[in-house]
A and B are shown apart, each in its own frame.
Chain A
Amino acid sequence: MKLLSDLRLGARMAFSAGKDGHLRTALIALGTGLGVALLLLVASIPTALQSRSTRTDARQAQWADQGTRLGETLLVDGFGTTYHGTSVAGWAIWPEGPAAPLPPGVEALPGNGEIVVSPALRDLLRSSDGRLLVQRLGQPAIVGTIGDQGLLGPRELAFYLGDNSITSETADQRVPAFGQESPAEVYNATLQLLIIVITVVLLLPILICQAMATRFGGEARDRRMAALRLIGADRRMIRIMAVGEALVGAILGIALGWLIFLGGRQIVPLFSLSDISLYPSDLIPRTDLALLVMVLAVVLAAAAALTALRGVIIEPLGVTRIASQPRRRLWWRLIIPAAGLAALYPLFEGADPESGPPPAYQIVAGVILLLAGSVALLPWLVDRLVQALPTGPVAWHLAARQLRRNTATAVRFVNAVVIAVAGAIGLQLLFVAVQESNSADTSYDPNWATAMAHIVPVPGQPGNDFQQIVAQVQDIPGITVTSGVRRAWSTGDDSGDWNVPLLVGECADLAQYAKLGSCASGEVFLSRNPSTASINDQVGPGSVLHLFNGMGPEGEASIDWTVPRTARTVPQREDAVTTDGGNLSILATPAALDVAALRTLPIDLAVIHDPNDEDSLEHLRNVVVATNWYHSDVGVFKDRVEQDQFAKIRVGLYLGSVLTLLLLASSLLIGMLEQLRERRRLLSALVAAGARRSTLAWSVIWQSLIPITVGLALAVVFGIVLGAMLLRIVDLPLSVGWSAIAWSTLIAVGTILLVNTISIPPLLRLLRTDSLRVE
C-alpha cells in the first residue's frame, strides 16, 4: 500500500539518519519510554487497588451463622497494633476443633504461644529494632510465615498468634471460613489529588522533551524533505514520511517503556508507603488503559512530527521558514493560565474527603493549562526584557539581537524546564502542607499532649488500678503524663437517647480539658464547647443522671448521681483533645462521686513523649496493651515516623525532578549544540573578522541564560500559584515553603549550568578560525 510504503520510507530515514539522527531517535524513544512507563504505572493503579481489595476480601473472616458447625470454627481476636509508626495487622487465634479453617497463606495453625508471621514481620522481629514488639507479643515462637496470598502486600506486617486463652465466649468472632466481600476501601481525596498532580507534573516535561526531540535535526530533516519534494513527493507524502520517522522513535519508546515498567515493577516490593506495599504481580496495567497509553504515545509522536512541519513550508526548492510574527500579543497568552484558574476554581471548597475524589479531568485540565500558561508568557516576557534592557557590551548586544531575531527557538528549549520547575514547586508546596496537616493537627497544643493513651483495663484483673497504671506510664523514660482521667458515661434515663461523658480526675488533670478558673476537691464542672450553639439542656446543676462504666456484660457497673447545685459551667479548652466530639462533658473531681462503685473505668492518659526517642512510644504501647490488648490504644498526635515517611517521599520527588531535569538537560544540550553548529559559519566568520572569542562565547551563553532566567522567575510564580490552587482544593492553608521553592530552583539552575558548562568546550572549538574550512 502506498501509505505503508511512505511510512516505511520515513522510518528508513530515521534509521539511516547518521549519528545525529540516531541520537534524536534515541532521545524520542527515551522520552516516550519514560512517559509510557509512568502512564503504565498509573494505568496499573486500578488493578493494584482491585487486587488489594481481593486480598483484603480473601482474609476477611466470615461470620458464623445458623449453618455453622460450631466445632469447626476458628476463634479470632483482633490483635492489631502499631509499631514505630507502621501498623501491624494481627489476630490471636485458636481452633475450636480439628476442622477449623486456616487463614489464607497459613499452612498450619500455631500452637499456644506460637506465631505465624509475614516475612516482613519475621525480619523485624528477628532484628534488634523489633525487640519491644517481641516483648509486646509475649515472646512467641515463630513457627511459620504467611504466604503471599494471605498478605495485602510484600511489606505488610501481619501475624496470627496462637492463644489458647481465647474462649468462644470472649472471642471477637467464631470463624467458619475466610473469604468475604467487603466494601471497597475509600481512598483519600488528597491522595488521589497527589497522584493526579504528580502524574501531570512528571508527564508534561517528558512530553515536551519528546516533542523537542522530534524537532532535533529539524533543519536537516527539512532539507531532506525538500529534496524528496523535488523528485515528486507531494505534501501528503512528506507528512506521512515525517510521521513514519517519528513512529520509529515512538515504537522504540513504547518497547522501552514496557521494559522500564516491567523492570521497575520488580523493585516495587522494596517500598511501602502509608503501610501500603505492592507485589509486582499486582501491578498490571488495565488492558484498555494500557492500549490507550500506547495509542497515545503513537498519536503524540505523530502529532509532534506534524506540528514541527507546520511552521515550515517545504517546497521543492528548499525550506522557507514562516517568519515568526513580529508582534507578540499579551492577551491570548494570559487567557491560557486564566482558563487554568477557571478550571480549578469551581473545585474550591468542593472537596471534602467524604464527597469522593475531586473530578480528575478538571484538575488535569486546570493544571496543564496553568503550566502551559507559564510557557505561553515566556516568549513575550523575553521579548519585552530584551527590548527594555539597556544595551551593554558587544557580547550582550549580539545575544540580544539574536534573541530578538528568533525568540521562538531560544525559548523552545527552556519551556520544558519552566514547566518541570513550576510543576515541581506546586507539587512540593502541596506536599509540605499535606505533610504538616497529616503529621500535626494544628488545633492540638503539643505542650498539652503529643499522644493519648486510652486504656480499658480488664475488669477484675490485678494491677489495673488507676494509680498503678498512671505510675507505670510515668516511669517510662521519655514519657510525661500531663493529665490522667477516668471516664464514665451518663444518661438521663434508660432510653439511651443521649449520653454525656463524665471525666473523673484531680483539678490539675481536669484543667487540661476546660478553663476551670478555681477548683477544689469535690467540685463538678459542666464543660461546654463555646463555639457550638446547640447545648444539651437536659444536663444542668441538679439533674439526676445514671452513670455507667461501659465495660460490657461482665464488668458492667452503674450508679445514680445528681449533678451538684454548685456545678459551674466552664468553657472547653479549644486546644484540648476531646476524645468525643460532643459539645458537653461533665468534669468531676473524685470526691464528688463514689468512683469505686463504678469499679473499673477506662482511663485517658494524655502524655508528652520525647520526639527523639521513638522507643518511648513503644514502651507506652507495651504497657497499655498489657492491660487489655484489643481495647486499649495509643493515639499519636505528632508522629515523627509519619513525618519521616513524608520526608522520604519528598526526597523521592526531588529525585524525580532531578531525573526529569537531567533528561531535559540532555535534550537541552543537544539542542544547544545543534544551534551552535547551524551558526558555525556566522560565528567563525565573526572570529575571522577579528571578534574576540570570549566575546562570542559570552554572547552564546547570554543567549541561553536570558530566557532561562526569565523562565525560572515565571516558574516560581506559576509554581506558587499552582500550589496555592491545589491547597485551596484540598482545603489546606497556604504556607509558602520557601525551602521547597529554593531547592527546586537550585536543582534547575544546577542542571542549566551543567549544560552550559558542557557546551563551552565545543563552542570554543567551533570558534577556532579553522573550522571555517568546513562547508
Chain B
Amino acid sequence: MTAPAPVPVPSARAILTATGLRKTFGQTLALDHASISLAPGEIVAVMGPSGSGKSTLLHCLAGILRPDQGSVIYQGQDLTTLRDAARSTLRRTQFGFIFQFGQLVPELTCLENVALPLRMERVPRAEANRRATEELQRLAVEDVAGQRPGEISGGQGQRVAVARALVTRPRVIFADEPTGALDSLNGELVLRQLTATARETRASILLVTHEARVAAYSDREIVVRDGRTRDPLTAGAAA
C-alpha cells in the first residue's frame, strides 16, 4: 500500500493539529508521516497494534517529545518550536494526562496529588484543596483523599489520576491506556466519568487504546500502523 498518509483538512475548528510527524529512536522509526487533528470537545481514539507508535504520537502531540519532523499546532502555536519552560506551562495549564499507572506522586496524599497542578499554578492552598476535593467527590473517591497512592486500589488510583487530570479544566486530555491496568468494571467506571466530564467541560480527549470497548467511548478513531496514521474513512476511500 503506497497511498500517501492522509493529511487532515486544516480546519479552523481544530484545537490541536499535527502534520507529517516523524520520530526516530536510534534505528527505530516510531512515527512516519503521522498526522492527526482534534476538534474542541472531540474524543478521538488512537488504535493500532503494540509498538505501532501510538504512545509516541501522543507524547509528540502533548509536547513531551519533540518530533524530528513535522509540526504540532496547539491553538496557533507550534509546540515543536517552544522551549521546555513554555511546554511545561502548557502541560500545567492546558493539558491533562492519564497514563496506565504510575503518574501519581507516591509521597503525596491523593488530595495533595490532585491539588498539585493547581498549587503549581499558585492557586492558594485552601482553594486548591477545595477544588481537588470536589473533583474527588465527582469521581467518588473522596474517601481516599487522605491516603497515599500506595495505599489504595488500582481503580481508585486511576480515578484519582483522572481527578488530577481534570482539576485544572484542561482543554485537551491525553489518556494512554487509561484502563489498561483495570478490570472491565473499574475501567468502565473510569472511562464513563472521564468522558462525561470532558463532554461537560468541552475538553478534547486523545484516547490511546488497543481495546475496542474503550475506543467505543470516542467520537471517531484513528489507526496507527507502523508509525503511520490511517483515518479509516479516507483510507477506505483510497482503497
Task: Tell me, yes or no, whether A and B come into direct contact in the complex with CB atoms closer than 8 A.
Answer: yes
Seen from chain A, the residues whose Cβ lies within 8 Å of a Cβ on chain B are 2, 5, 9, 12-13, 16-18, 21, 220, 223-224, 227-237, 315-317
Contact with A along B62-106 (1 / 0, CB 8 A): 001100000000000000000011011111110101010011111
CA of A317 to CA of B88 in the docked complex: distance in angstroms? 13
Contact between chains at A231 and B107 (CB < 8 Å): no
B131 located at the interface, meaning its Cβ lies under 8 Å from any Cβ of chain A in the complex? no
Contact with A along B104-126 (1 / 0, CB 8 A): 11111100000011011010000
Contact between chains at B97 and A231 (CB < 8 Å): yes
Contact between chains at A234 and B88 (CB < 8 Å): yes
Contact between chains at A232 and B104 (CB < 8 Å): no
Contact between chains at B89 and A9 (CB < 8 Å): no
Contact with A along B141-166 (1 / 0, CB 8 A): 00000001000000000000000100
Residues of B within 8 A of A13 (CB): 105, 107-108
Contact between chains at B120 and A232 (CB < 8 Å): yes
Seen from chain B, the residues whose Cβ lies within 8 Å of a Cβ on chain A are 59, 64-65, 84-85, 87-93, 95, 97, 99, 102-109, 116-117, 119-120, 122, 148, 164
Residues of B within 8 A of A235 (CB): 84-85, 88
CA of A316 to CA of B55 in the docked complex: distance in angstroms? 13
Residues of A within 8 A of B107 (CB): 12-13, 16-18, 21, 224
Question: Would you list the 8 A-B pairs with minimal beta carbon distance, nearest first?
Answer: A232-B92, A234-B88, A232-B91, A234-B85, A316-B64, A16-B107, A17-B107, A13-B107
Residues of B within 8 A of A5 (CB): 119, 122
Residues of A within 8 A of B64 (CB): 230, 315-317
Contact between chains at A232 and B85 (CB < 8 Å): no
Residues of A within 8 A of B104 (CB): 227
User: With A5-B122, A231-B117, A232-B120 in contact, do A316 and B91 touch (Cβ < 8 Å)?
Assistant: yes
Can you list 23 pairs linking A and B with CB atoms under 8 Å apart? A9-B119, A12-B107, A13-B105, A13-B108, A16-B109, A17-B107, A220-B106, A223-B102, A224-B105, A227-B103, A227-B105, A229-B88, A230-B99, A230-B103, A231-B117, A231-B120, A232-B117, A234-B88, A235-B88, A236-B85, A316-B91, A317-B59, A317-B65
CA of A227 to CA of B116 in the docked complex: distance in angstroms? 11
CA of A230 to CA of B104 in the docked complex: distance in angstroms? 10
Residues of A within 8 A of B87 (CB): 234
* Residue in A12, A18, A316 whose Cβ sees the most chain B Cβ within 10 Å: A316
User: With A231-B120, A234-B88, A236-B85 in contact, do A224 and B93 touch (Cβ < 8 Å)?
Assistant: no
CA of A16 to CA of B108 in the docked complex: distance in angstroms? 7
Residues of B within 8 A of A315 (CB): 64
Residues of A within 8 A of B116 (CB): 228, 231
CA of A21 to CA of B108 in the docked complex: distance in angstroms? 13
Contact between chains at B106 and A224 (CB < 8 Å): yes
Which A residue's beta carbon lies closest to that of B90?
A232
Contact between chains at A231 and B92 (CB < 8 Å): yes
* Residue in B88, B93, B95, B148 whose Cβ sees the most chain A Cβ within 10 Å: B88
Contact between chains at A228 and B105 (CB < 8 Å): yes
Residues of B within 8 A of A16 (CB): 107-109, 148
> What 16 additional pairs, Cβ within 8 angstroms, besides A232-B93, A232-B120, A316-B59?
A16-B107, A16-B109, A18-B106, A223-B102, A224-B105, A230-B99, A230-B103, A231-B97, A231-B117, A231-B120, A231-B164, A232-B117, A234-B85, A235-B84, A315-B64, A316-B91
